[in-house]
Amino acid sequence: MNIGSFNSDSIGTLLSSLPGSQRGNTSAMANMYQNLNELASVKSGSYYKLARSYYAKENEKTSEKTDKKTVKKENTSTSKSSTKELAEQEKAATELIESSKALYKSNSLWKKDDEGNYNRDKIYQAVSAFIDDYNQTIKESASSEVTGIAHAAAALVNANRSNSSLLDKIGISMDSSNYKLSISEETFKKADIGKIKSLFSGTGSYAYQMGAQASMIQNYAQLEASKANTYTKGGSFGATHANGSIYDSIT
């Protein structure tokens, strides 16, 4: 007898055709009917398909849990600041480094013309650019949660305080509420050029000190960025983070 050929309809028909005396043990017949149906399902492959579907769903759930754990692990960061904040701090500091160099390293800026005069317009423009870059650096870094960056920003403010008397004489003042600098063009262009030069020209000058502290901010931002998963696969900084040492930045 080919059991696999039976289905629920054929079994039902068979049972209903039996005489009443032969259907006395209905429980036994019902069990036989269930067993025949289960055996037919096994032979037809229904159980295999059901089991395969069940375990496939279980594997998907396990895979999803593993993926979530992996993503969480990959996104682990020990940085106190976001990469965006660090990039802005580094950018502002880099610009301050450059505007400082344009003052204390320049020979042509502090060279007299044939009549023995300095080009005060160019000097004023260079100092104004320096002040703008300083103000941006303070804006980005003064409230940083990175200790090294905050300390370097405080050192910039302290340098202004230490030189406040001389700065005031050439028309530069610091706002005590936000530590930003402002410059009076009229006062600056009439000021003693010797005082201006002592502040902004040469190694060890006020401009040099400001560039040195800006380089500290730049390097601390780069270091902190490495904790925020901004290293490339090769182990170097990404394109948005410049390489270099503090010495290279200020010399």
Q: Compute φ and ψ for 183, nearest 5 degrees.
A: -135, 140
| Contacts for 41-48: CB closer than 8 Å, 24+ residues apart | 43/3, 43/4, 44/4
Q: What is the pTM of this model?
A: 0.63
Q: What percent of the chain has pLDDT over 70?
A: 59
Taking the C-alpha atoms of residue 168 and residue 179, their distance in angstroms, rounded to an integer, is: 14
* Confidence grade of residue 81 (pLDDT, cut at 50, 70, 90): confident
19-31 pLDDT tens trace: 554 544 555 555 5
Taking the C-alpha atoms of residue 172 and residue 153, their distance in angstroms, rounded to an integer, is: 19
pLDDT at 139: 96
90, 216 in Cβ contact below 8 A?
A: no
Question: Tokens in use for 59?
Answer: 């594997």
pLDDT at 45: 57
Q: Write the burial class of residue 214 (CB in 10 Å: 0-12 exposed, 13-18 middle, 19+ buried).
A: buried
What average pLDDT score do residues 27-47 get? Answer: 54
135-154 pLDDT tens trace: 999 999 988 999 999 999 99
Q: Compute φ and ψ for 40, nearest 5 degrees.
A: -65, -35
pLDDT at 36: 54
